[in-house]
Amino acid sequence: MAHLLLLLVLVIAAAPAGAAETAPAAVQAFDTPNDQGHSITLTWRRREVLPDSARYRIGVSERAEGPFHHVAELDPKTTPTMADEPATFGSDDDNRNRHFALIESYRDSEGQDRIRIENGKAYFIRIGIHGGGYTVVEARARGNYFNSTKTGNFALAGLFSVLILVYIRLARRKNLYIRRLAGLDALDEALGRATEMGKPVLFVHGLQDMGSPSTIAAVNILGQVAKRTAEYDTQLRVGNRDPIVMSVSQEVVKESCIEAGRPDAFNPDNVFLAAADQFSYAAALEGLMVREKPATNLLMGYFYAESLLLAETGATTGAIQIAATDAYTQLPFFITTCDYTLMGEELYAASAYLSRDPKLLGSLKGQDLGKGIIILMLVLGSILAGFGFWPLLS
């Protein structure tokens, strides 16, 4: 509501006599909420009956008396209403009866270049119907310091963050029980098998880049895997699609080898760019699986259609396969073709679980409690909805 209090809505001029009833009614202009500034939102009442040729014309001036520079000409039939943007304007029933337009720039006097709306400067905005009256209002744009549409998100993220940090602290003092993850318990067995067979372990990141949380989680797991393979003196092959992920993976494997006391185990050629395109990447890794027959395939990260191509090829070569993904559309393929599959959040838990570090395990406990709260809210919501308490829910 703060931004509404700052609105300076002022009707400067009315339409000429005889045309007033044709001018847009209940016009308001205010700083566009939840943005970085340089934008003014104009709203006005929707007219039920207008001729097909009618157009709203919007102009902007730095002075009340003009001249007004062209901003836009809008067709009333296609101009959005405030109900189309519930995140910004809420869910008031009246929103269906009000149009809105965002004003971010206007044409200069020659009508050539567009001039950007400046923050803190007073602008006079004129809206009229072509051939009818017009209304002028004043407003200023400004940058917002908090996106109020993300308040719920902020509150929940804050609550879960506090829970996780509390449990990390708690974990320093006492042992916390963490449920077993079969796929990760089998990791040592899978790596041991590769060692006994004298065959490599293949690690695949999936398709996303380093900005994706699933790739970050996969790289964390890679660190743990690389340390174990270095200790077991087993070759680790890491096939990448993204050059940045490849560079990061090379560093992670190198650091893990050094930590394991086996810097000589690191070979940069084993962490390679397979291909930068989805199916070329799949083909390159399938070829590697068929030719080198790795004893263990670890498919960890975010996958798309290549998931089944990789996993099914790996299955035909007889490798132990452990997959971990948060791509729910690909989970069925991994479950059907891999020996163990870590679903969704388990991908993010894997690194902490493998490290056995109490503080990392504490964060998993906090995560579980967060899930418990969500489940409780869902059950409560279902009960309230079941008994018809819709006003309370909404």
d(CA 230, CA 240): 20
**Which CB, 129 or 364, lies closer to other proteins?**
364
Indicate whether 343 belongs to the interface with other proteins (CB under 8 A). yes
| Torsion of the alpha carbons at 109, 114, 117 and 122, rounded to the nearest 10 | 10
Indicate whether 181 belongs to the interface with other proteins (CB under 8 A). no
Give the helix/strand (H/E) hosting 258.
helix 243-259
Neighbours of 5 (CB within 10 A): 6
> Which of 10, 374, 376, 393 is the binder for other proteins (CB under 8 A)?
374
**Which CB, 235 or 240, lies closer to other proteins?**
240
Q: Which of positions 105-124 make contact with other proteins (CB under 8 A)?
A: none
Q: Which of positions 73-92 make contact with other proteins (CB under 8 A)?
A: none
> Which of 135, 208, 215, 224 is the binder for other proteins (CB under 8 A)?
224
Indicate whether 231 belongs to the interface with other proteins (CB under 8 A). no
In b/e form, how buried is each residue of 194-218, taking b as 16+ CB within 10 angstroms? bbeeebbbbbbbbbbebebebbbbb
Q: Which of positions 255-314 make contact with other proteins (CB under 8 A)?
A: 255-259, 268-269, 271-280, 282-283, 287, 291, 305, 308-309, 311-312
CB of 197 to other proteins, least distance (A): 17
**3-class state of residue 279 by DSSP:** helix
Q: Which stretch binds other proteins (CB under 8 A): 93-101, 164-172, 184-192, 386-394?
A: 164-172
> Which of 29, 103, 125, 168 is the binder for other proteins (CB under 8 A)?
168
Contacts with other proteins by CB under 8 A: the residue count is 93
Strand order in the sheet with 236-240: 271-273, 236-240, 201-206, 296-302, 320-325, 340-343
Q: Which stretch binds other proteins (CB under 8 A): 21-29, 40-48, 179-187, 254-262?
A: 254-262
The answer to whether 293 and 248 have CB atoms below 8 angstroms apart is: no
> Which of 215, 220, 235, 341 is the binder for other proteins (CB under 8 A)?
220
Q: Which residues have CB under 8 Å from 128's CB, separation 6+?
A: 15, 23, 24, 56, 57, 134, 135
